[in-house]
Structure 1
């Protein structure tokens, strides 16, 4: 009997390394391994009735106290959580660009990181993204995602980076497409979150697609792509076009 078809051989089938807590520096944002000490600076941006909506699609209820937020971050930082998260730091208003500035001159405006890490298959997910209004729709938000994509593909050698979100989360789906993730499917009744059903939309970027996407990110993030008021001249999608 003839053998049945199989996929093409993988050039490097050895397991990828697990991500470790390293600092990732960009031009507009620094990603620092997340820990409970970030709660004090993050809380003002993520708390209060006016910010409750940013927790709508998170697994946790809104943090109403610094201690509650500190508990969340402490759980994320625990190695048993299976994830690897970073705090997103941006310079406080009025500070000049200076890589040697003191940490206290940075705001913690959100967090994001890796989860569903499967070194054996070289697959990893960017998720648990909590971007407060202080970073939403900014260059720093795009650069934060770029830094994690670049780290996963270039430094760690993963073959596939995933992006998953509640199928009702239109903002997250738009962001995934803008970043260059391809929509793959919807997993129906995938989870129960805060007592409610979640159908999950799946997106992914493959290693064979990364070179083109990396050039697009770098072109968009270049200072030459922004005017004196910080407004983009060309959209990220145009650099991929």
Structure 2
């Protein structure tokens, strides 16, 4: 890449014909397997609360600053608080087969001026983890962030010790950018934060990869994947010369 210089012969970044991205709206995002909609305590609390205890322990709350919730009332109180927030902006994921909410996430650190937004507060129940549902959720999110809202950068951050979250980020096509040491204190413990991102120039290749993975042709009669998402992503990156 040719280095761009200013009038003082200093290297500078390339010019960006930039206005601003848009704020996330309230419209639902619907795929073949799931629907993403703004979190609503009355509509979603019971479904979500019932979906989380389907594992024998509370390990999926370890790296979050809240939870687990011992009663439905305590969970409803929590939801009443977070649904009032505009940043983070919380969403529920609805399984279209059952019509029930099975997980939540938030769009946060929303910077429309610079076109940067982060996905965080990811709490997927066991009914959603490691399923096509979670992959389609990310596919819908990527399309929404880059195509509909016009962002330049999509971030994923997590506790550096949270191995499942780091594995998920890499599987979804996020690029690891490094560790911010002593970035936070969570539950009285130190947190080093791992940073990942996807930028707009990478989106088209990822869209192609997700579309191929989600295709019915990629699943056998038992519903098992034939090719991994990472294989499709690697192929697209080769085609794009990355």
Match of residue 77, structure 2, among 71, 77, 82: 71
Native 8 Å contact 1:113 1:148 kept in 2: no
What residue in structure 2 maps to residue 22 of structure 1?
A: 27
Matching residue of 2:115: 122
The TM-score, its normalising length taken from structure 1, stands at 0.89
Tell me the distance in 1 between the aligned counterparts of 2:200 and 2:96: 32
Structure 2: gaps of 5 or more residues: 1-6, 236-242
- Deviation per residue, 1:46-75 (Å, 9 max, x gap): 248724111111120211111221122222
**Deviating runs (4+, > 3 A) in structure 1?**
none
Describe the SS at the equivalent of 1:50.
Answer: coil
Q: Does 1:54 align with 2:60?
A: yes
Q: Provide the aligned length of Structure 1 versus Structure 2.
A: 227
| Contact 1:90 1:140 survives alignment (8 Å) | yes
1:6 to 4, 12, 23: 12
Residue matched to 1:101: none
The equivalent of 1:133 in structure 2 is 126
CA distance in 1, matches of 2:142, 2:65: 23
Once the two structures are superposed, residues 69-126 of structure 1 have per-residue CA deviations (whole angstroms, 9 ceiling, x without a partner) of 112222221135x12221111145xxxxxxxxxxxx4121111131111111100001
Please provide the CA RMSD for this pair: 1.6
- Specify the alignment match of 2:240 in structure 1: none
Give the corresponding residue for 1:36.
Answer: 41
- In the superposition, the TM-score normalised over structure 2's length comes to 0.89
In the alignment, the residues of structure 2 paired with residue 230 and residue 73 of structure 1 have an alpha-carbon distance, to the nearest angstrom, of 34
**Residue correspondence of structure 1 range 139-150 to structure 2 within 5 A:** 139-150=132-143
Deviations 1:175-204 (A, max 9, x none): 111111000010000011111111000000
Whether 1:235 and 2:228 are equivalent positions in the alignment is yes
